[in-house]
């Protein structure tokens, strides 16, 4: 099959290569000339404009958008639309908010385009392991893309599926990422407790390696954690600063709207927020109140 890909970063570039290896024709666009040159050198076609991208694909076209969520997705669609024709399909493979996805679907479908949302998991390992894909959109449109999904997935019939109508793919990916936050937080806290028990002189790498085999908490995330510890057991040279790209907070908002109690995911998100505040105002407030009512000592900077 033919596929256009917009955004040839860590995800889009690797997906293009996985598709090429399976015999699909891939035409890719990126603002980075280095990224398009790399794609061409690998045997696909890298182009420097959206016009060239569209011109090098035969109708009905399928174009996979792999750009940061929010405005970049809207801008990409707005620029592409005049170049496309009825029957062409947009696939948003990024981490878009499902409400934006539903809005885009409802705008594009009456104009004759297809629009599919694909929550894509797998990170930099997807090129070899395959990508887990949670897909939303109209059944026949999703079905027409089957050869692409079968190739990108870990197995032809596994690790991907249409989970519901437009927005469902991104909604499921949002919750997937909320779970990711909670799992990560639990591992991080557990290893911190082990490290703090200095009198036992525990070897974190040894313990992680033991847990990798047969234990209830073994997982791919633990495998990656073990690799990270092997490379840098004390995490030297790293700042305790954890960004978030939005999916975790959308999960929390959604849980509140749905009256679902989700304390682990919520606290994991808030821990990330806290990691970015040095000597924060809240804690200085606590110290000063304690000082006011009890005359307790404050630590001066």
Ligand X SMILES: O=C(O)[C@H](O)[C@@H](O)[C@H](O)[C@H](O)COP(=O)(O)O
Residues that bind ligand X (CB under 6 A): 95, 121-123, 177, 180, 243-245, 247-248
Q: Is the Cβ of residue 109 or residue 242 nearer to ligand X in the bound state?
A: 242
Q: Is the Cβ of residue 107 or residue 129 nearer to ligand X in the bound state?
A: 129
Active site residue 180: yes
Positive or negative, the CA dihedral 125, 49, 62, 100 is: positive
Name the minimum Å distance from CB 91 to ligand X.
16
CB contact at 8 A, 61 and 116: no
Helix axes 33-41, 10-21, angle to 10 degrees: 20
**Nearest-CB residue to ligand X?**
121
Q: Is the Cβ of residue 104 or residue 170 nearer to ligand X in the bound state?
A: 170
Name the minimum Å distance from CB 141 to ligand X.
23
Name the minimum Å distance from CB 137 to ligand X.
19
CB contact at 8 A, 98 and 123: no
Name the minimum Å distance from CB 52 to ligand X.
29
| b/e per residue 265-296 (b: at least 16 CB within 10 A) | bbebbeebeeeeeeeeeeeeeeeeeeeeeeee
CB contact at 8 A, 8 and 40: no
Backbone phi and psi for residue 135, each to the nearest 5 degrees, phi listed first: -110, 135
Name the minimum Å distance from CB 7 to ligand X.
14
What six digits make up the tokens of 198? 């200095």
Q: Is the Cβ of residue 36 or residue 69 nearer to ligand X in the bound state?
A: 69
Name the minimum Å distance from CB 245 to ligand X.
3
Q: Is the Cβ of residue 121 or residue 275 nearer to ligand X in the bound state?
A: 121
Longest dimension (CA), the chain: 77
Contacts of 290-296 with C-beta under 8 Å, sequence gap 24+, read none
Separation between Cα atoms, residue 142 and residue 9, nearest integer Å: 24
Separation between Cα atoms, residue 275 and residue 266, nearest integer Å: 14
Q: Residue 154 contacts by C-beta under 8 Å, 6 or more apart in sequence? A: 129, 130, 131, 132
Q: Which of 2, 107, 150, 180 is catalytic?
A: 180
Active site residue 300: no
Identify the DSSP state of 40. Answer: H
First-residue to last-residue Cα distance in the chain: 63
Q: Is the Cβ of residue 158 or residue 292 nearer to ligand X in the bound state?
A: 158
Catalytic annotation, residues: 173, 180
């Amino acid at each position: 099959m033919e596929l256009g890909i917009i955004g040839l970063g860590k995800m889009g570039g690797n997906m293009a290569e996985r598709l090429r290896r399976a015999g699909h024709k891939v035409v890719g666009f990126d603002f980075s000339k280095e990224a398009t040159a790399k794609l061409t050198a690998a045997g696909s076609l890298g182009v420097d404009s959206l016009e060239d991208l569209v011109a090098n694909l035969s109708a009905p076209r399928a174009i996979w958008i792999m750009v940061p969520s929010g405005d970049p997705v809207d801008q990409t669609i707005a620029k592409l639309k005049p170049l496309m024709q009825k029957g062409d399909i947009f696939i948003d493979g990024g981490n878009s908010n499902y409400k934006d996805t539903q809005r885009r679907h409802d705008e594009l479908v009456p104009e004759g385009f297809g629009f599919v949302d694909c929550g894509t998991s797998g990170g930099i390992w997807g090129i070899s392991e395959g990508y887990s894909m949670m897909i939303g959109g109209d059944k026949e449109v999703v079905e027409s893309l089957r050869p692409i999904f079968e190739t990108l997935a870990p197995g032809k019939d596994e690790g991907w599926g249409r989970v519901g109508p437009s927005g469902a793919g991104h909604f499921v990916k949002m919750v997937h990422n909320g779970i990711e936050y909670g799992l990560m937080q639990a591992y991080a806290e557990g290893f911190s407790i082990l490290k703090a028990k200095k009198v036992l002189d525990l070897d974190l790498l040894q313990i992680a390696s033991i847990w990798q085999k047969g234990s209830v908490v073994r997982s791919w995330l633990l495998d990656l954690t073990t690799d990270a510890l092997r490379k840098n057991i004390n995490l030297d040279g790293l700042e305790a600063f954890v960004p978030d790209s939005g999916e975790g907070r959308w999960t929390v908002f959604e849980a509140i709207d749905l009256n679902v109690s989700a304390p682990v995911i919520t606290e994991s998100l808030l821990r990330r927020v806290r990691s970015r505040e040095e000597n924060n105002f809240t804690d200085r407030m606590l110290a000063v109140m304690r000082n006011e009512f009890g005359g307790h000592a404050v630590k001066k900077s």
